[in-house]
Chain A
Amino acid sequence: DAKTTQPNSMESNEEEPVHLPCNHSTISGTDYIHWYRQLPSQGPEYVIHGLTSNVNNRMASLAIAEDRKSSTLILHRATLRDAAVYYCILRDDPGGGADGLTFGKGTHLITQP
């Protein structure tokens, strides 16, 4: 899996948008960008993934740079329940389910009331 770089931690205020960046300058043309998050003392959960176009779902939005060397996970209104470690992972299969995932250190999101 190609390497990704994320800030160690970020802080946000409740009810405000949060932009979590991820750099992946060595991404290949067939790599999908996946985001997972891990709430405290729980297993990770899938958030969103995309290839080239921006993606939206009920949890978040994914903005992908035109050159695909970076992406941003957007939580439109952060809540205290969004406090978690967010992982950006590159995979060459669309769903990410074919092989085990390689987790980096991720970004620890701290939300303040």
Chain B
Amino acid sequence: NAGVTQTPKFQVLKTGQSMTLQCAQDMNHEYMSWYRQDPGMGLRLIHYSVGAGITDQGEVPNGYNVSRSTTEDFPLRLLSAAPSQTSVYFCASSPLGGGYSYEQYFGPGTRLTVT
């Protein structure tokens, strides 16, 4: 199993550009999520999904869109990048059971710089 994969590993954008961060998992996990990690602030949840076709907002959803058309993929879209979106982005997945998710498996991260 490859686990959770993310592409690209590094990306530099100019303000106003758009892009999609890719995330895929091969563990058949129902739950997938996106976080951003900024120095001194831990991880903050952007969006999450509990299955194909079901997404919801996390703590910091503004400026980001997601969709979940398959169990495996959960892309994160930045429609108009801003310098405040410079961060490290992590995708994670976990199985669901008993009405909650178990521990999450994290991808390697994407380091995004917006100039």
A pairs with B: no
Binding site for B on A (CB under 8 A): none
